[in-house]
Structure 1
Amino acid sequence: MAVDDRDRTSTHTDSGLHARVELSRRRLIGTVGAAGAGGLALGAVGGVAGHAAAQPEPGAGLASVGGTEVPFTGEHQPGITTPMQARGHLIAFDLAPGAGRKEAAALLRRWSATARRLMAGRTDARDSAVALDAGPSSLTVTFGFGHSFFGRTGLAKQRPFALDPLPAFPADRLDARRSDGDLWVQIGADDALVAFDALRALQREAGDTARVRWQMNGFNRSPGATEKPMTTRNLMGQVDGTNNPKESEPDFRKRIFVPAQGTSGGSAGTSGGAADPDWMAGGSYAVVRRIRMLLDDWEKLSLGDQEQVIGRRKSDGAPLTGGSETTEPDLDKVRADGKPVIAANAHARISRPDENGGAAMLRRPFSFHDGYDEDGVPDAGLLFICWQADPRRGFVPVQRKLDRGDALSAFIRHESSGLFAVPGGARSGEYVGQRLLES
């Protein structure tokens, strides 16, 4: 990462993937330490209780939230294994008529320069001014390409097989206007104004090259909001994030990131070739789903019935078979009447990787609340984002099984969907996607 002339005084490794967090001396004075963020990962597609994408630093202090900086450059793009942030924006663009590969490359060059600057906390007169008083606040900006992007830029031969459209799921109620897109951007920050400033900057710089297709806003628990760092809860009140893959696991990178060509771990494409072209090395695939929670129906259930739906205690996220949040459920344990303690259709059972042929994904979503409809029903739920090396082996088999018999399905509705190829991180002097657009 290119470092400006401010005096950097603190660097640490983020859970083994070498994501550095740098604090300026001016922002560090008087603070307690680097702020981590508890993570949110639903539930609706693969484990309603799971650890954050990366674990928070213990003893985070509110005074240091603004000073936390995430590097723009690296093997992987930021915003994948970065600890969950308090605020998030998702936005998809379609290229304007007549815009092609040249215009897309220029746009990604502008976007990357802006993301690099804002993630370092360097705001100036070019920006909306709403973030002038804040530090980087863990800002991350992540870029991805949709299936349609490749045809519109003359790069169809470079489109990965893993980016084939997701299959139709019988329970989906998708709005095409809020699904898919040529380009996708994920923004996260621990300060709402910093996140909004980045959103406005990128939207303005799209100019005549791309137009907004859809945009969604999300939130999560703020760093320092709890007495001690802990797994967050979703809008159903469930502890959410325990069963996420962990970076300490030996196969984490293989499950989440695309390997370089010529290394082990690649998968075959549907047409017999390699699943991933060279430009995807170090990248990942993001499935994005707007999942509405039918909260009025959910909240009519008794506490015991809610716990049966999930298969975990609501108080602490522990499995109904006993122990703590991180205790492995005893799926063979039965009650006195001979029925399993964790029901056959409980979400915690059906979504487990070992119940789905080892399928795994890193879930890193945001909650959303977009008001109430005319009947007073809340439009709220989860902006579900999951990361994997191949969605055909990660998201798809798990969602198919959930669609067939998950007890939680009666209380959620999938309303929009997208799949995006997220290339590896930019090297020093590069822009995101350069290896694709200049190939």
Structure 2
Amino acid sequence: MAEQSTPEASPEGIPSQNTKRGPAAKAAPTRRPSGRSAPDGTVADGAASTGAISRRRLLGTAGATGLALGAVGAAAGYTAAPEEPEKTAPLTSLGAARVSFRGRHQPGIVDAAQARGHLLAFDLAPGAGRTQAAALLRRWSATAERLMAGEAAGHDDTGVARDAGPSSLTITFGFGHSFFSRTGLDGRRPAALDPLPDFSSDRLDASRSNGDLWVQIGADDALVAFHALRTIQQDAGGAARLRWQMNGFNRSPGATARPSTARNLMGQIDGTRNPKPAETDFEQRVFVPGSGDPDWMAHGSYAVVRRIRMLLDDWEKLSLKAQEDVIGRRKSDGAPLSGGTETTTMDLEKTTADGSLVVPLTAHARITRPDQNGGAAMLRRPFSFHDGFDADGTPDAGLLFVCWQADPVRGFVPVQRRLDRGDALSEYIRHEASGLFAVPGGAAPGEYVGQRLLEG
């Protein structure tokens, strides 16, 4: 849970270049729904809408209001004229927000972290190879483009999200280490995709780790997210079999009085030092260059995925001061223990009257600072999870950690190695699943994701 991270635990939301607006607002600048914050702490207000919502319309809020007003009118002796045509209510700003499937980068990396997420991995079916994989990615890309535009699936749509707009849906695809040998493409496997080293805090379940293909789904409506999950799984057909799937959540847009960095399940503000798009080295830290090696990864990124269980019963027994010493930041507002506000630079040398360091040497926030790791940085975009309780009542809850970097050897690995050697937080977390995936750049018009790898 490196502190330089999270758009949730946070990118809560970077205004995306891909967000589109509908005809009612074509003259206005592109905006995110009100109340969504960005990794840099900024927020874009207003409502993004789409001009091609297709058959989906959100009747919920306005419809419910109309029923209530109708009841009041009837009580007052008024009734609606039966011949008056029903008016379709416009989508709310939350439902209308749309992210484009196509672009230089795949969606779901620098876009705002959504309220609901699903992570899943597939293995190619026995006998399936490069031809079947290409056909599958073509199907998945077509489905993702339709669903992200707020349209129905191209075939046998279940109708689960019939009344909803796109709701900031993003669908992202990646390739695992094993995919390349399964498809005869070993020679095109990136060196950056070599397996991650072992870490002392790892308690990994192999059945919930890695995989040939990885899919990340996020949306601000749970039904929209589930609809995408179900459609992607059905589209796999006989070409691939589900290996594992995990469900996550974040704070809903607009749930707080003012935009702020989100909190994790430990109650800590998480993500203060996430890299920001305005920083001059943001692209080189997060994305493979356009002249990347290999060429099919141009403008792509590498996703490290970790299921990190938080030992909440143990954590919640600590005093407030003990929790803050573990993290190195105040729980109330995320400010460093050395003083200031959340974004104040941490003073690592400040001491108390007795000469003790104000920010302990083992504090999580100290260890994960880029300037303490040779500049290593990664863009975190995680989801929290809660999968019930163990037989003894222990919560199975924590963080679905997802971080993005141009090279995990220079991003995730050095930071995790330092955490392994003395992070006070390690006593209260357990890494239970892991995966590393190569996520190619966005699909150009007429392309499907991964086409340059599979047909290059």
TM-score, shorter chain, exceeding 0.5? yes
TM-score with structure 1 setting the length: 0.87
Residue type at the aligned position of 2:151 = R
State whether residues 36 and 55 of structure 1, in contact with CA within 8 Å, keep that contact through their aligned partners in structure 2: no
Please report how far the alpha carbon of residue 27 of structure 1 lies from its aligned counterpart in structure 2 after TM superposition.
Answer: 9.8
* Aligned pairs for 1:286-297 within 5 A: 286-297=303-314
Match of 2:43 among 56, 69, 85: 56
State whether residues 53 and 84 of structure 1, in contact with CA within 8 Å, keep that contact through their aligned partners in structure 2: no
Partner of 1:153: 183
- Check if 1:164 corresponds to 2:176: no
Unaligned regions of 5+ residues in structure 1, if any?
1-13, 40-50, 267-275
- Give the 3-state SS of the residue equivalent to 2:403 in structure 1: strand
Partner of 2:284: 254
Match of 1:362 among 379, 396, 404: 379
**Alignment coverage as a number of residue pairs:** 398
Stretch of structure 1 that moved more, 117-126 or 83-92: 117-126
State whether residues 305 and 436 of structure 2, in contact with CA within 8 Å, keep that contact through their aligned partners in structure 1: yes
Please report how far the alpha carbon of residue 23 of structure 1 lies from its aligned counterpart in structure 2 after TM superposition.
Answer: 2.8
* Aligned pairs for 1:16-415 within 5 A: 19-25=17-23, 34-35=32-33, 38=36, 52=39, 55-58=42-45, 63-123=92-152, 126-261=156-291, 276-415=293-432
Cα distance in 2 for residues equivalent to 1:421 and 1:300: 40
Please report how far the alpha carbon of residue 127 of structure 1 lies from its aligned counterpart in structure 2 after TM superposition.
Answer: 1.9
Quick one: structure 1 residues 255 and 138, their matched pair in 2 at CA, closer, same or farther if it must change by over 3 Å?
same
Stretch of structure 1 that moved more, 337-346 or 57-66: 57-66
Q: Deviations over 1:401-436 (max 9, x none)?
A: 001100000000000000000000000111000000
- Give the 3-state SS of the residue equivalent to 2:43 in structure 1: coil
Quick one: structure 1 residues 175 and 235, their matched pair in 2 at CA, closer, same or farther if it must change by over 3 Å?
same
Please report how far the alpha carbon of residue 22 of structure 1 lies from its aligned counterpart in structure 2 after TM superposition.
Answer: 1.4
Residue type at the aligned position of 1:320 = L
Cα distance in 2 for residues equivalent to 1:201 and 1:53: 34
Residue type at the aligned position of 2:112 = P
The alignment yields a C-alpha RMSD, in angstroms, of: 2.0
State whether residues 46 and 93 of structure 2, in contact with CA within 8 Å, keep that contact through their aligned partners in structure 1: no
Q: Deviations over 1:262-307 (max 9, x none)?
A: xxxx6xxxxxxxxx21000000000000000000000000111100
Cα distance in 1 for residues equivalent to 2:25 and 2:47: 15
Please report how far the alpha carbon of residue 123 of structure 1 lies from its aligned counterpart in structure 2 after TM superposition.
Answer: 1.5
Q: Deviations over 1:357-411 (max 9, x none)?
A: 1000000000000000000000000000000000000000100000110000000
State whether residues 180 and 417 of structure 1, in contact with CA within 8 Å, keep that contact through their aligned partners in structure 2: yes
Cα distance in 1 for residues equivalent to 2:40 and 2:174: 19
Quick one: structure 1 residues 58 and 315, their matched pair in 2 at CA, closer, same or farther if it must change by over 3 Å?
farther
Quick one: structure 1 residues 101 and 258, their matched pair in 2 at CA, closer, same or farther if it must change by over 3 Å?
same
* Identical-pair percentage: 70
State whether residues 36 and 44 of structure 2, in contact with CA within 8 Å, keep that contact through their aligned partners in structure 1: no
Unaligned regions of 5+ residues in structure 2, if any?
1-12, 49-60, 62-91
TM-score with structure 2 setting the length: 0.84
Quick one: structure 1 residues 216 and 55, their matched pair in 2 at CA, closer, same or farther if it must change by over 3 Å?
farther
Q: Deviations over 1:196-236 (max 9, x none)?
A: 00000000010000000000000000011111111110000
Please report how far the alpha carbon of residue 15 of structure 1 lies from its aligned counterpart in structure 2 after TM superposition.
Answer: 5.4
Residue type at the aligned position of 2:17 = A
Cα distance in 2 for residues equivalent to 1:27 and 1:378: 45
Cα distance in 2 for residues equivalent to 1:126 and 1:26: 31
Partner of 1:43: none
Please report how far the alpha carbon of residue 20 of structure 1 lies from its aligned counterpart in structure 2 after TM superposition.
Answer: 2.5
Residue type at the aligned position of 2:224 = V
Partner of 2:443: 426
